[in-house]
Structure 1
Amino acid sequence: MHPSLDLIAAQHREDDAPLGRVMECHECGLRHAVPRLADGTTARCVRCGATLHRFRASSLDHAFAYACAGLVFFLMANFLPFISLEISGRVQAASLVTGIFVLYGQGLWELAAVVALTMFVAPGLRLGTLFVVLGGLHLKQPPRWLPQLHRWAVLLGPWAMIEVYMLGVFVAYVKLIDLATVVVGPGLYSVGALMLAIIAAGTTLDTETVWGEFERRGLTTPPPPVDPHRPACLCHACGLVSNLPAGGHGDCPRCGAVLHRRRPDSLTRTWALVITAIILYIPANVFPVMTVISLGSGAPDTIISGVIELADAGMWPLAALVFFASITVPVLKLIGLITLLVTTRRGSARGLRRRTAIYRVVEAVGRWSMIDIFMISILVALVQLGQLATIEPGVGAVCFAAVVITTMIAAMSFDPRLIWDAAGENRD
């Protein structure tokens, strides 16, 4: 166990502050004796730099306020006029969910399900669960099921992609403004405000602070101190470090999740997902992602042809953005995951901190490849004008969405602590 602590903030904690608890870095596996933090301080891993705990005394109140505001904006986005298209006297209006129904109606239920989950269901449930959990903690007698609800709510975080959706709307808007009149309604501005509320709530709230409040309110039992002479592991659900039972298997004493010293079969599962993504990436780029039909004729567009079209129209910044998000990011993510898998399997001890940083980037950027999928959902919702103009989604979009989802799950299944384990840095 390493006793050092790096506090990135004003160094104003009291020297005699009581010991908080043992924490394990979720990225490299190093354990730290983390003291109780003063307001505004952050504890970071001294080995890889990952954030262990960020304490703000008012974080629960601020996150609750952002969740309340986000729910209001979510309702406004669904009930107020969203966006409409006018061309040659024909007007086509679209709501926040019109694209989902159009995709489903054209037989691409898989793509409709992905769009519905990432831009409607996950953000709504994320805000709703935050509202219930943080609001419940303001009650004199909070419900006993709040910790379990919070545990599942955390899983929704990576799948709420409102900020990516907004960028997809912007790309669709730029594609349409030269062809027709696009009218932006208050519903779209509400989505922008919703995006800011979700980002603010996520950055303000610290999971360890929430679990500490659960303990203070008696919703979970205070965990026993960690015995340094017995095997211990990090709970993947709530982040608690606790001793393993004698048999090596058991449940977390704080949240009840099944304990694993490392994610089960991490390398095997990640390899399987990476290979699947590579196979899917070929049809995602070969088959058309959409077909634009104007006056009875049209040509299919692949991802790369869409980038070329933007460049030919002089929209170089937007073309570069789409190229980076839809082509460069998936390729670099696959290369990064393969590099991590190969070097970990070989037990390489070189560049451990750099490889951990690669994992951190791979996990963070993968969701941004959904820009093209969200752009397509907007275009097919707006451009349904019969013989005048119609946009139809293609099977390439389904394959590309599968690539994005598969690589995201692959990054989640990879346990970065194995990088340091293989190099012999985590001997208990």
Structure 2
Amino acid sequence: MSTAMNDPRPIADQTPPRHQTLPRPAMCRHCGLLQTIPALDDSSSASCPRCHTMLRRTHPDSLNRALAMTMAALSLFGVACLMPLMSVSTAGISLSADLFTGPERLQQRGIWELALIVLFTTVAAPFLKLLGMAYVLIGLKMSRPPRHLRRVFGWIERLRAWSMVEVYLLGVFVAYVKLVDIVHIDIGLALYALGLLILTTVAADAVLDRQAVWEEMERRGLSDESRGTNATVMLFEGRHPASCETCGKVGFLGVGSRPSCSRCGSRLHHRKPNHMARCWALVIAAIVLYVPANVYPVLTVVHLGSGAPSTILGGVEELLDAGMYPLAALVFFASILVPVLKLGGLIILMISTQFAWAGRLLDRTRLYRIVSVIGRWSMIDIFMESILVALVQFGAIATIEPGFGAISFCGVVILTIFAAEAFDPRSMWDAAASSRTTS
């Protein structure tokens, strides 16, 4: 089964067959279409018939399989934190680095903002995400699960975009290629653990049916809704529907009311409040920071007494001069092209919404999906720099120091991530529908 259909009929109050979900109302998070997801068997999916956004994908024994994968990922993360990533040596001097060394070196050089962001995205966010997921899945197996499980799971969903282990690993690879001609490098056990961690977390995310987690919380009595309330019947009683931004449950807004989601407790809004103003402010701030991010050096490499500050574009040119064309293309795409495409894409989305353009809605929705996913990969340059600063400190032989441009560039990446989260793509469809009605 591949597509959810509009279906105004009430959901039958009955227990679904084994390995089958009940039909449920849903609102597409990308186009705002209100619809009913039909009953799904295991390994089935439902997508929006208007914009083709995936609404739900079911998996057999989802919660138990996800718990097993999450526990394995936690073990691998422990290895990655306790063991060295890489060791380098030259002229009889040896240095090693782990996940904490880069942020520590950045902080020692007074760039505490960069140190904090690297530490959060590579250690804190991934660990809290895995620990919180394990806590929720284990808690649901208890005879009386804690009521705060729904709050924990809601925060896990918010941390998902900030857990950047896979981006960090790619940054380590870029650092390795840049260092291989300067020093002797030994790969540490933590690097292999990170590779396995990424595979394990991808598998855990793939087998987890998040709606099954929320439904299990409802079944175990962790929601606030009264017993026997039929959401689909309420859907057609004239109140304004709203989809919870945290758990996706459809709720209803009365005149003058400010209700909360009955399932996760989050505040309900028909659309993200003030999303256009917030998105414009974040995009403008990112554009302002983009100038010093490309003008000022991101790092300075001194090898045997010679060297000069290097900007982002200068780093790409160095890779081209060294004949590392695939790596140069990767850094150019992630560090230069992606921020420009993301800022340009957001501007197009906002202008088209404000002018109520009715054309190419599907293409603009696809553009939003791309913009909301690719921005985090620009952190490759920041993670690479944290590794280089940690490993290359050999005095007059070879030294790498961070530059001010790295702070500005990191600010651009963070602001564009927030801007993509602030924008509400459903407003594009609302504006187009309004334009057709008035014309």
SS of 1:142's equivalent in the other structure is: coil
Can you list the C-alpha shifts for 1:331-363, whole angstroms capped at 9, x where unaligned? 011110000000000000000011000000000
List gaps (5 residues or longer) in structure 1.
6-12
- Hey, which bits of structure 1, 4+ residues long, moved more than 3 A? 221-224
Deviation at 1:317, TM superposition (A): 0.4
Whole-Å separation in 1 of the counterparts to 2:214 and 2:23: 13
Deviation at 1:401, TM superposition (A): 0.4
Pick which of 300-309 and 131-140 moved more: 131-140
SS of 2:153's equivalent in the other structure is: helix
Does the alignment pair 1:52 with 2:61?
no
Q: Which of 364, 374, 379 is matched with 1:370 structurally?
A: 379
Pick which of 162-171 and 142-151 moved more: 142-151
Can you list the C-alpha shifts for 1:95-139, whole angstroms capped at 9, x where unaligned? 111000000000000100110111111001000001100111122
Q: Which residues in structure 2 correspond to 1:211-226 (within 5 Å)?
A: 211-221=214-224, 224-225=230-231, 226=234
Does the alignment pair 1:112 with 2:121?
no
Deviation at 1:204, TM superposition (A): 2.2
Can you list the C-alpha shifts for 1:7-38, whole angstroms capped at 9, x where unaligned? xxxxxx99xx8852110000000011112211
Q: Which residues in structure 2 correspond to 1:201-280 (within 5 Å)?
A: 201-221=204-224, 224-225=230-231, 226-228=234-236, 229-280=238-289
Whole-Å separation in 1 of the counterparts to 2:305 and 2:183: 18
Please provide the CA RMSD for this pair.
1.9
Can you list the C-alpha shifts for 1:304-351, whole angstroms capped at 9, x where unaligned? 010010111110000001100000000011110000000000000000
Q: Is the 8 A contact 1:4 1:46 kept in 2?
A: no
Pick which of 47-56 and 218-227 moved more: 218-227
Q: Which of 280, 301, 309 is matched with 2:310 structurally?
A: 301
> Which letter does structure 1 place at the counterpart of 2:133?
L
Partner of 2:154: 151
SS of 2:316's equivalent in the other structure is: helix
Q: Which TM-score applies when normalising by structure 1?
A: 0.94
Whole-Å separation in 2 of the counterparts to 1:188 and 1:416: 38
Whole-Å separation in 1 of the counterparts to 2:109 and 2:216: 48
Deviation at 1:263, TM superposition (A): 0.4
Pick which of 79-88 and 216-225 moved more: 216-225
Q: Which TM-score applies when normalising by structure 2?
A: 0.92
Q: Which of 399, 417, 420 is matched with 1:390 structurally?
A: 399
Deviation at 1:82, TM superposition (A): 2.0
SS of 1:141's equivalent in the other structure is: coil
> Which letter does structure 2 place at the counterpart of 1:267?
M
Q: Is the 8 A contact 2:21 2:41 kept in 1?
A: no
Partner of 1:80: 83
> Which letter does structure 2 place at the counterpart of 1:249?
R
Whole-Å separation in 1 of the counterparts to 2:432 and 2:68: 45
Whole-Å separation in 2 of the counterparts to 1:79 and 1:4: 53
Whole-Å separation in 2 of the counterparts to 1:418 and 1:2: 21
Partner of 1:96: 99
Does the alignment pair 1:416 with 2:425?
yes
Whole-Å separation in 2 of the counterparts to 1:279 and 1:98: 31
Q: Is the 8 A contact 2:88 2:96 kept in 1?
A: yes
Whole-Å separation in 2 of the counterparts to 1:34 and 1:247: 29
Can you list the C-alpha shifts for 1:376-426, whole angstroms capped at 9, x where unaligned? 000000001122211000010000000000000000000000000000179
Pick which of 235-244 and 288-297 moved more: 288-297
Does the alignment pair 1:188 with 2:191?
yes
Whole-Å separation in 2 of the counterparts to 1:48 and 1:4: 17
Q: Is the 8 A contact 1:2 1:31 kept in 2?
A: no
Q: Is the 8 A contact 1:2 1:30 kept in 2?
A: no
Partner of 1:10: none
Q: Which of 313, 325, 338 is matched with 2:334 structurally?
A: 325
Deviation at 1:294, TM superposition (A): 2.5
Partner of 1:136: 139
Can you list the C-alpha shifts for 1:125-162, whole angstroms capped at 9, x where unaligned? 00000110011112222122111111111100000000
Q: Is the 8 A contact 2:239 2:254 kept in 1?
A: no
Does the alignment pair 1:334 with 2:343?
yes
SS of 1:131's equivalent in the other structure is: helix
Q: Is the 8 A contact 1:126 1:157 kept in 2?
A: yes
CA distance 1:20–1:2, shift in 2 (3 Å): closer
Partner of 2:174: 171
Whole-Å separation in 2 of the counterparts to 1:314 and 1:281: 28
Whole-Å separation in 2 of the counterparts to 1:170 and 1:253: 45
Pick which of 235-244 and 123-132 moved more: 235-244
The size of the alignment, in residue pairs, is: 418
Pick which of 216-225 and 368-377 moved more: 216-225
SS of 2:377's equivalent in the other structure is: helix
Q: Is the 8 A contact 2:345 2:367 kept in 1?
A: yes
Does the alignment pair 1:360 with 2:369?
yes
Whole-Å separation in 1 of the counterparts to 2:111 and 2:99: 18
Whole-Å separation in 1 of the counterparts to 2:107 and 2:45: 46
Whole-Å separation in 2 of the counterparts to 1:104 and 1:70: 28
Can you list the C-alpha shifts for 1:204-233, whole angstroms capped at 9, x where unaligned? 223211101111222224564133122111
> Which letter does structure 1 place at the counterpart of 2:265?
G
Whole-Å separation in 2 of the counterparts to 1:295 and 1:311: 22
> Which letter does structure 1 place at the counterpart of 2:31?
C
Partner of 1:348: 357
Percent same amino acid among aligned pairs? Answer: 49
Whole-Å separation in 2 of the counterparts to 1:4 and 1:372: 48
> Which letter does structure 2 place at the counterpart of 1:34?
I
SS of 1:424's equivalent in the other structure is: helix
> Which letter does structure 2 place at the counterpart of 1:201?
A
Q: Is the 8 A contact 1:292 1:389 kept in 2?
A: yes
Whole-Å separation in 1 of the counterparts to 2:253 and 2:383: 44
